[in-house]
């Protein structure tokens, strides 16, 4: 561990927020400060500061495009303090050593997000700042690099705890974060230029890394990259696992398609229970009734705050996780009765626009399936039109089928999942599985509706459904033999609607 006193600093930032405390701390520890442009004007009202122009002997030129790109700046940053040749060069050309660099890059991504003009976007490509970051990070043995205003608070703590000095470990940590900053910044610029050429590319840099207990199985390592605290706050319970995160993601995807008060129980990424009802307690009871056996050890999600009354009923079930947009104090006390139970307070459910997964020696990328059909998507193809109640149930079932593993069939009545057949190699098997489950839990299928994630290649599924009393069907359509299923529905007095959108999920 090599502790080094900070004797000089170069500060060049876009945003000046929260910078004043840093300047005062540096001044207190006798640090010589250099700065440029607006940052210089800001600092000179707080402490003694030297302009970079006074160091280089050159003014800022090209409208501010060139300010710090000079040997007297980069020589001071990159010089190796223990290298005699470097020391000779510094002495010969009167270059001061620079021990600390504080840079906040031009806001490229923010300018892009604001739909600025092309010329405005280009002007927000930082050149000098990126160069300063890379130089200081490379020479971490002697120089500390602060590459984002998000590090100001930690920098202040570091300065005060070590009296204006830094250790090698500190400098390595800040250098690692600096290269993450430049990687993300350059990726955003690269993506923008690729978009100008309508060029598809894949690059990703997500931090921080959150080490998990293990992956899908105990012999597999697992890491989550991202900021879970932007999505939810964990109020109680054990550490979230790899499999928990998969189920949480599936739960978030499902609930995002519902606006009415809804409860769902997720097991192995599929809904084993789901119901919508204006009465939250009724929604929970109907969701649980869909498959109380599979619900054991599952995760619960709702789009409605949880009160004590509902918490008391939910608490009767053994489950791993509950997600909700708020809990009453009494509800939390009830749910916290199990020490390992994970309780998550949902902040945001902003779904990513793209999905990706590793395949073979590459990556598959696709648009997220953000189609959530409403009544405007339905095309009646049978003589009989579905009733208002059937339409409500068909749309409910179609939301569930979208979020279930293919091949899948969903059976619904009164906005309650009666049963599902998921992950089957044939659609007929999926239907038979769903029918058997519904009967095992005492549900009558008379007047129920059926949803399929893909078209029916043959009329066998609607024939089986009709025998069980199912009265309406929804599917994407698109088979060359669609008419055979339509003809059977007409002969059996069933209603059928197609949406035009398939919802495979693998």
Tokens of 456: 């029916």
460-467 and 427-440 helices cross at what angle (nearest 10)? 10
Tokens of 153: 């608070």
Please enumerate in sequence order all residues whose Cβ is within 8 A of that of 278, keeping only pairs 6 or more positions apart, or say none: 260, 261
Chain centroid to Cα 490, Å, comes to: 46
Tokens of 37: 């442009």
Q: Give dist(CA 9, CA 93) in Å, integer.
A: 19
Out of 138, 162, 338, 384, the active site residue is 138
Residue carrying structure tokens 């230029």: 193
Q: Give dist(CA 131, CA 104) in Å, integer.
A: 12
Q: Give dist(CA 437, CA 433) in Å, integer.
A: 6
What distances in angstroms separate CA 428 from CA 424, 462, 470, 477, one per listed residue?
9, 10, 15, 16
Q: Give dist(CA 210, CA 205) in Å, integer.
A: 14
Query: Nearest Cα to 331, choosing from 307, 295, 355?
Result: 307
DSSP 8-class letter at 64:
G
Active site residue 48: no
302, 264 in Cβ contact below 8 A? yes
Active site residue 503: no
Out of 268, 338, 432, 439, the active site residue is 268
Q: Give dist(CA 429, CA 445) in Å, integer.
A: 17
Q: Annotate 381-397 with b (16+ C-beta within 10 A) or e (fewer).
A: bbebebeeebbbbbbbb
User: Measured at the alpha carbon of residue 19, what is the angle toward residues 230 and 189, in degrees to the nearest 5?
Assistant: 55
Residues annotated as catalytic (active site), given as ranges: 138, 268
């Amino acid at each position: 561990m090599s502790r080094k006193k900070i004797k000089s600093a170069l500060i060049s930032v876009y945003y000046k927020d929260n910078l004043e405390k840093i300047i005062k701390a540096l001044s207190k520890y006798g640090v010589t400060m250099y700065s440029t442009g607006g940052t210089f004007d800001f600092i000179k009202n707080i402490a003694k500061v030297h302009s970079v122009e006074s160091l280089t002997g050159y003014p800022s030129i090209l409208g501010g495009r060139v300010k710090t790109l000079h040997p007297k700046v980069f020589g001071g940053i990159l010089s190796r303090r223990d290298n005699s040749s470097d020391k000779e060069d510094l002495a010969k050309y009167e270059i001061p050593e620079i021990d600390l660099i504080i840079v906040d890059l031009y806001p490229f991504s923010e300018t892009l997000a604001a739909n600025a003009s092309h010329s405005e976007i280009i002007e927000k490509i930082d050149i000098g700042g990126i160069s300063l970051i890379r130089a200081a990070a490379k020479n971490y043995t002697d120089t500390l690099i602060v590459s984002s205003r998000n590090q100001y608070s930690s920098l202040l703590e570091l300065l005060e705890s070590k009296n204006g000095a830094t250790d090698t470990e500190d400098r390595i940590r800040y250098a690692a974060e600096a290269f993450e900053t430049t990687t993300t910044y350059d990726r955003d610029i690269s993506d923008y230029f690729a978009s100008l050429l309508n060029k598809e590319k894949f690059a990703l840099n997500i931090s921080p890394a959150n080490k998990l207990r293990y992956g899908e199985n105990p012999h597999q390592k697992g890491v989550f990259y991202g900021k879970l605290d932007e999505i939810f706050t964990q109020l109680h319970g054990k550490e979230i696992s790899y499999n928990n995160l998969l189920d949480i993601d599936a739960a978030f995807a499902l609930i995002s398609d519902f606006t009415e008060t809804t409860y769902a129980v997720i097991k192995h990424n599929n809904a084993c229970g789901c119901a919508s009802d204006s009465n939250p307690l009724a929604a929970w009871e109907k969701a649980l009734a869909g498959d109380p056996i599979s619900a054991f050890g599952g995760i619960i999600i709702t789009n409605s705050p949880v009160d004590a009354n509902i918490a008391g009923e939910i608490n009767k079930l053994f489950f791993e996780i509950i997600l909700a947009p708020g809990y009453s104090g009494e509800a939390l006390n009830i749910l916290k009765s199990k020490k390992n139970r994970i309780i998550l307070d949902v902040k945001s459910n902003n779904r990513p626009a793209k999905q990706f997964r590793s395949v073979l020696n590459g990556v598959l990328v696709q648009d997220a399936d953000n189609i959530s059909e409403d009544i405007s998507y339905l095309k009646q193809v049978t003589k009989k039109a579905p009733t208002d109640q059937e339409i409500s149930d068909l749309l409910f079932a179609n939301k569930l089928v979208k979020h279930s593993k293919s091949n899948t069939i969903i059976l619904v009545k009164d906005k309650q999942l009666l049963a599902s057949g998921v992950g089957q190699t044939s659609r007929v098997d999926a239907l038979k599985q769903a029918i058997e489950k519904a009967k095992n839990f005492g549900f009558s299928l008379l007047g129920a509706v059926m949803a399929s994630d893909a078209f029916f290649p043959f009329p066998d599924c609607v024939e089986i459904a009709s025998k069980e009393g199912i009265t309406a069907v929804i599917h994407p359509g698109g088979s060359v033999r669609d008419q055979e299923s339509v003809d059977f529905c007409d002969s059996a007095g069933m209603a059928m609607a197609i949406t035009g959108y398939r919802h495979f999920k693998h």
